[in-house]
Structure formats: C-alpha cells, structure tokens
C-alpha cells in the first residue's frame, strides 16, 4: 500500500464542509474521493486533518489516502486538478510513510479569521471576510486573547454539545494583524480589517468561531477581557459569545513533526 499526503485549498462557500454525515457530493472530501474512485477503480477513503464547518475555507488543509498501486506524485496532482471544480485545488502530493495519518500525526494547526471593520463593503474579498462594518476595540480583544492562550479546558468554546472526549487543548498563540483603511478613521484607531491568527495543538468543533465571536463581543465593549477566565472556568458553552460566521474563517496550515 502507498500512503499519499496531500495539501488542499478550497473556497468553502458552496460546500457543506470538509465532510458531512448526510451527503458526500457537497463536501470537499467527497469531491476528492470521487476522483480517486474513478482513477483507482474502487472506493478510496480520504482522511482529512480535521473537519472544517460548512462555508469555512482552507489554504492548507491536509489529508492522506492509501492506494494499492504506486502513482507518481506529479501524476496524482494533475489528475486532481484536472477534475476538481475551480473552487478546490490540490496544492501538493507527496508519498508519506505508511504510518502517517493526517489527523493523528498533526502537531499544530493555524487558523485565520478575517473581520472587515471598514464602513465601505469589501468587494473582492467579500466571500472570505466577515463583513462587520464597524470598528472594534482591538486592544481589549488582545487582552482577552491572552487569557485564551495556554493549555486549558475549552469546553465553553466547543460547538459540539455531546462531546465526550477531552476538551483540553493547547493554544500557542493568538496574533492580531490590522489593515488600516483610508476611507474611515475609527474612534479606537482601528479600522479596515482585523485578522486574528490562532495557532494551537488542535481545535474543538467551531472553537475558533466561538473564540472569535467572544473576542468580537469584547471588542464591542459588551464583555471585558477579565470575563474570559470566568467563561473558561464555567465549562459552559452558553457563557461564551456567538459563533462568528463561517465565511471569515480559513484553515491556513497543518504541521507535522
């Protein structure tokens, strides 16, 4: 058996996520598996590093699959990109060690969340940003984000109510990048676009979106940075903020040792 590792980029707008329990056709995994099944003459399971929610994008999702026959990596790359729709692309194909597993071997993931805070709507990036349209108090958001970093129980930030496994995760870094905009000067000095980068060992279902929603509520002044430890301590989803829209979220990178 040959184990192939691939990196995949997708515009998640049209899809029900990486994987869905109800349908395969409207999922990124389903699109990849359909191509492999035709090429290999049998069903091939594509294992993703993790599920991305419906509407979430990826610049560096990784996955792996096993093929009985040896294929040239280049040949597989061309096969995928020839048959994939224009909103999905396979960026690289590499033969991996047989024990490599895109989910279990992953040691670090980076997500990016983009919030458009400018008054004028963003035309070209509109499908990849959350069009918030108002300024946010970024300094307070940064303070709140500090309380979210470290190895902690993130049960309050987990979108799956029936999660039975551990909800402890390590968040290594939450970084803010601000793009100033010419058209609008906010009272907080923040405007244009805010990008929040989340780097961690792994993330629970909808965790980045709930963290972002909570940080936005801090940026609005509805919550204080000091509320975060209280929310974490409660281990109750109801205490955290709203789930920020999927379209602002992008899986940037999955790392392996």
- 11/53 with CB nearer a second copy: 11
Single out the residue of 256, 229, 199, 203 nearest to residue 53, CA to CA. Answer: 203
Which two tokens mark 193? Answer: 């676009």
Determine if 91 is a binding residue for a second copy (CB under 8 A): yes
Query: Backbone phi, then psi, for 147, in 5-degree steps?
Result: -70, -20
- Give how many residues touch a second copy by CB under 8 A: 24
CB of 7 to a second copy, least distance (A): 10
Hey, how many other C-beta atoms are within 10 angstroms of the C-beta on 210? 23
Provide the mask over 126-165, with x wherever binding to a second copy is found by CB under 8 A and - wherever it is not. Answer: x-x-------------------------------------
11 is catalytic: no
- Provide the CA 120 distance to its chain's centre, in angstroms: 26
- 120/163 with CB nearer a second copy: 120
Among 59, 143, 195, 235, binds a second copy (CB under 8 A): 59
Each residue of 41-72: b (16+ CB within 10 Å) or e?
Answer: eeebebbbbbbbbbbbbbbbbbbbbebeeebe
Among 42, 123, 162, 164, binds a second copy (CB under 8 A): 123
Cα distances from 74 to residues 91, 92, 152, in angstroms, run 11, 8, 42
Determine if 9 is a binding residue for a second copy (CB under 8 A): yes
Single out the residue of 136, 19, 35, 33 nearest to residue 83, CA to CA. Answer: 35
Determine if 180 is a binding residue for a second copy (CB under 8 A): no
Which two tokens mark 16? Answer: 């029900």
- 36/58 with CB nearer a second copy: 58
Residues of the shown chain interacting with a second copy in the complex, contacts defined by CB under 8 A: 9-11, 57, 59, 77, 81, 84, 86-92, 119-124, 126, 128, 183
What positions carry a catalytic annotation?
A: 53
């Amino acid at each position: 058996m040959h184990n192939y590792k691939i990196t995949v980029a997708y515009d998640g707008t049209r899809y029900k996520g990486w994987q869905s329990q109800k349908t395969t056709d409207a999922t990124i995994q389903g699109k990849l598996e359909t191509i492999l099944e035709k090429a290999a003459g049998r069903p091939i399971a594509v294992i993703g590093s993790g599920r991305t929610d419906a509407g979430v994008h990826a610049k560096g999702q990784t996955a792996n699959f096993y093929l009985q026959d040896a294929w040239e990596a280049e040949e597989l790359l061309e096969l995928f990109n020839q048959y994939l729709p224009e909103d999905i692309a396979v960026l690289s194909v590499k033969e991996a060690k047989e024990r490599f597993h895109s989910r279990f071997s992953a040691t670090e993931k980076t997500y990016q969340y983009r919030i458009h805070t400018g008054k004028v709507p963003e035309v070209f990036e509109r499908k990849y940003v959350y069009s918030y349209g108002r300024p946010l108090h970024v300094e307070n958001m940064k303070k709140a984000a500090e309380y979210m970093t470290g190895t902690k129980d993130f049960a309050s930030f987990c979108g799956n109510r029936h999660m039975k496994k551990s909800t402890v995760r390590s968040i290594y870094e939450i970084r803010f990048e601000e793009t100033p905009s010419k058209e609008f000067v906010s009272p907080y000095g923040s405007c244009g676009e805010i990008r929040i980068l989340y780097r961690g060992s792994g993330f629970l279902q909808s965790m980045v979106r709930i963290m972002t929603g909570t940080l936005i509520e801090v940026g609005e002044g509805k919550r204080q940075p000091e509320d975060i430890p209280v929310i974490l301590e409660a281990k109750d989803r109801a205490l955290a903020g709203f789930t920020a829209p999927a379209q602002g979220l992008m899986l940037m990178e999955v790392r392996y040792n």
